[in-house]
Amino acid sequence: MAPVTRSSRRPWTRLSAAALVATLALGGCSVFTPDNGSSELDSFIQALNNEDAGAAAALTTDPEAARASIEKSLSGLATDEQGPDLEIDRGDGDLPDGTVSLGTTWTLAPDREGTPRTITGTGAAGMTKVGEEWKVEWAPTVLDDRFGEGDSLLLEDKLDYSGRVLAADGTPSMEWLPVTNVQIPMSEITPESQAPEQVAALVGQQFPEITAQSIRDGAQSAIDGAAESGEAEPENYTVVSLREEDIAPIRDQLAGTENVLLDEDHRLISVGLPSPAMSSVEEPLRERMGERGGWAAGIASSGVMREELASAAPEPIGDITTTLDPAIQSAAQSAVSGSGFASSIVAIRPSTGELVAVAQNDAASSLGPVALQGHFPPGSTFKVVTTSAALSEGVVGANDTVPCPGVTSVDGRTIPNEDEFALGQVSMGTAFARSCNTTQAILSSGLTDTSLRDTAAQLGLGTEMTIPGLDAYTGEVPVAEQGPARVEASIGQGTVTASPFGLALMSASVAANGNLVLPTFFQGEPATVPNPPAPLDPGVASTIQDYMRQVVTSGTGTGGGSIPDLRGKTGTAETGMGDPHGWFTGYAGDLAFAVLMQEADSSKPAVSMAANFLSQAPY
């Protein structure tokens, strides 16, 4: 079984001591006389009281180690809202080793219910003379006698991992799987250290690709990445995240290896039909779990908790049900899997906005979740927007006769039809159905600079929205001044981009009589739109619906004629490199969709794929 890929996790906030509050109340009487370090010990405590870890560390025998240790515990116990308060009580007499006992109480920010949180412990401080100055003899045990070298205090979230992600019919789609992160402290990945060789010798038995060199290379890449992004360098390097069955045979050996840390965690894995829609689920789920999360505070070694000192259990969030329909998802996946091109299908119910299918084949998935986030020229599918804008602004009437020459020059841009076909004077519906580029170019000269952008937004393309549980891109339609850029935009080229998700949303909004459909992925949680556009005129939407039917009955989409009452729009999109992409978007019944076949050179394969999908999907 392959190792679980470790996803990014939000790092704990690391604040400087100057940004944290450290209040120290002094009690008892000093066992040091004024000539053996009592005033210096008071100054050490006062420096912490003044939120100055640097000044406190300067009063010790090892300022660098002291400052690092003090700041590590202060920042490790900090929340986004505030840092901890530290109260130290000095003991009344010498300990047997000549040090003074220190009673410590760390008061953390209250939990989410406002309940105070504290950690108590004991430390010990001794004074020694360095030259002519008294110094606090630094050791980790000054802060807490349970500390070993490199230890610190840490506050962690405790999350409930019992909740599942369900499909619309209640079947499980994703579940949390316990994993163990095998880590090595960054400080131990050096040319002299043997930790990489020791870990590789154990883990490499199952995963030969993990070698000592790959560990060193990976750690260096993590360091370089942090430097480029301006983030803090990670404390530990995660070599691999292993499922229980993979780590069980070597757990004891790894645990007994010096400078190897085993961090217990969970990963969200697919247990149902795969879908790129699930690629962005983990982060919002962790956020929701965090809102009901418990906590644990204790002693950490190299950032990994080794002993809990105080904790509270989390509350479960329960199962999350998505809108993905297994039957429709299966039909979509079956359709794309049989393609030799990188292919994607997205399907949305216009009546509810429910996202019912998001499918990609392996070739498309190698490029990422392109069905939801791809930036592609939409080609002639964008004529839905251009024609809607022209109808809305009176540039053309629904029943007007328009020219469809084989080639035309408009505003400094020469536009041909495919193979330069010419229809002469035809109805607007015929020009749309036969996908006359030249007609659209001529219409574009009568539009305003913002017509295409605003009309696209009415149908969901380029509309700003937040969809709970889903990371999706609809498209971008810039303002187009009169000239070559607007002509190119009118036929879905130039700077206009869209994703399959965006075009499925466009078709869903046309099917909804011009009302912007709010997509939903987590059931009962529709998208929110900060500044929703006015609906498209219903008369314009009705005309576009009729035109889209003509595409299937007598235009470029006749390959989908076997699907009852199918309406759609084809598109062939030039990319500037490689063969053109093939598109088909539309709707049948209460199911809107978009099909993309990358570099298919024609829209015909996309039409066939859509027909294959719809013949299997229960819409």
Query: Which alpha helices (H) appear in 175-243, and where do they start and end?
Result: 195-203, 212-229
DSSP secondary structure, 546-611, as one string = HHHHHHHHHSTTGGGTTSTT-EEEEEEE--SSSSPEEEEEEEETTEEEEEEETT-SSSHHHHHHHH
- Residue 419: Cβ-neighbour burial (10 angstroms; 0-12, 13-18, 19+): exposed
Q: Are 585 and 552 in contact (CB under 8 A)?
A: no
| Cβ-Cβ contacts under 8 Å for 550 (sequence gap 6 or more) | 429, 430, 432, 433
What's the rounded Cα separation, in Å, for the pair 270 and 326?
Answer: 13
The average pLDDT across 295-318 equals 92
Backbone angles phi, psi at 340, to 5 degrees: -85, -5
pLDDT surpassing 60 at residue 526: yes
pLDDT digits (tens, 9 = 90+) for 138-168: 999 999 999 999 899 999 999 999 999 999 9
Provide the mean pLDDT of the chain: 91
Minimum mean pLDDT among 99-103, 107-111, 294-298, 383-387: which range? 99-103
What's the rounded Cα separation, in Å, for the pair 619 and 589?
Answer: 7
Residues found in the chain: 619
Q: Are 590 and 351 in contact (CB under 8 A)?
A: yes
Say how far residue 548 (Cα) sits from the centre of its chain.
Answer: 35
- List, in sequence order, every residue forming a beta bridge with 153; answer none if it has no partner: 299
Measured CA distances, 567 to 6, 304, 332, 382, 524 (Å): 43, 57, 18, 15, 28
What's the rounded Cα separation, in Å, for the pair 341 and 338?
Answer: 9
3-state SS, residue 396:
coil
Largest Cα–Cα distance of the chain, in whole Å?
107
pLDDT surpassing 50 at residue 585: yes
- What pLDDT is stored for residue 362 in this prediction? 96
Sign of the dihedral defined by the CA atoms of residues 147, 150, 155, 158, in that order: negative
Q: Are 471 and 279 in contact (CB under 8 A)?
A: yes
pLDDT surpassing 70 at residue 28: no
- What pLDDT is stored for residue 525 in this prediction? 97
Pairing relationship of beta strands 165-166 and 320-321 according to DSSP bridges: parallel
Q: Are 525 and 469 in contact (CB under 8 A)?
A: yes
- Residue 410: Cβ-neighbour burial (10 angstroms; 0-12, 13-18, 19+): buried
303-341 burial: b if 16+ Cβ within 10 Å, else e: bbbeeebeebebeebeebbbbbbbbbbebbbebbeebeb
pLDDT-derived band at 576, boundaries 50, 70, 90? confident
pLDDT-derived band at 445, boundaries 50, 70, 90? very high
pLDDT digits (tens, 9 = 90+) for 251-276: 999 999 989 999 999 999 999 989 99
- List, in sequence order, every residue forming a beta bridge with 498; answer none if it has no partner: 376, 475
3-state SS, residue 613:
helix
Q: Are 196 and 183 in contact (CB under 8 A)?
A: no
- The token duo for 582 is 């093939």
| Cβ-Cβ contacts under 8 Å for 308 (sequence gap 6 or more) | 296, 297, 298
Sign of the dihedral defined by the CA atoms of residues 198, 202, 203, 207, in that order: positive
The average pLDDT across 589-611 equals 98
pLDDT surpassing 70 at residue 26: no
| Cβ-Cβ contacts under 8 Å for 24 (sequence gap 6 or more) | 45, 46, 48, 49, 86, 87, 88
- What pLDDT is stored for residue 7 in this prediction? 34
- What pLDDT is stored for residue 48 in this prediction? 77
Measured CA distances, 2 to 119, 230, 251, 255, 264 (Å): 40, 32, 17, 21, 18
What's the rounded Cα separation, in Å, for the pair 123 and 89?
Answer: 10
- What pLDDT is stored for residue 114 in this prediction? 87
